[in-house]
Amino acid sequence: MSIFKDQIDFQVVVTNVCPTTKITTPIIKPLTFDISQQDPLIVNFKAFTISQLICGQISYALTKKDGSRPQSFILLNADLFQLEIKTNSPLSVGTYQYYLTGSLPGGSKANVLI
């Protein structure tokens, strides 16, 4: 009599849903700042949401629409979900477009145009 039992063959499939995880962005309305304002313009935005919570935390970046670094008068505080705009320089007057991008460690990205 054998002490071994029958064996069962099985297959394991390991997948990674994180590269295709959907990131949902909030709506950020157009912003207007007048250089004569004494206080900075603080804009609170909602955190981006993800379809697969197991994929980690979203990291945020702010870039100009062309991919370059933003001007020094606009700052992103990703920990507080805030944008801060402060300048009193007439040289800063103009229209600017930025991308606020949310990225996951697995490679998914989404951005919202500001």
Here the CATH number for the domain that contains residue 55 is 2.60.40
35 in Cβ contact with 87 (< 8 Å): yes
The answer to whether position 72 is within a domain reads: yes
Q: What is the 8-class DSSP label of residue 72?
A: T
pLDDT tens per residue across span 2-59? 566 777 787 888 877 777 788 888 888 888 999 998 899 999 999 888 887 778 888 9
Distance of alpha carbon 36 from the chain centroid = 30
pLDDT tens per residue across span 82-95? 999 999 999 999 99
Average pLDDT rounded to a whole number, residues 86-109: 88
pLDDT at position 1 over 60: no
Number of domains comprising the chain:
1
Range of the domain at 103: 18-109
SS3 label, residue 9: coil
The answer to whether position 2 is within a domain reads: no
Token representation of residue 110: 């989404």
The answer to whether position 94 is within a domain reads: yes
Token representation of residue 56: 């980690």
Cα dihedral across residues 36, 33, 81, 61: positive or negative: negative
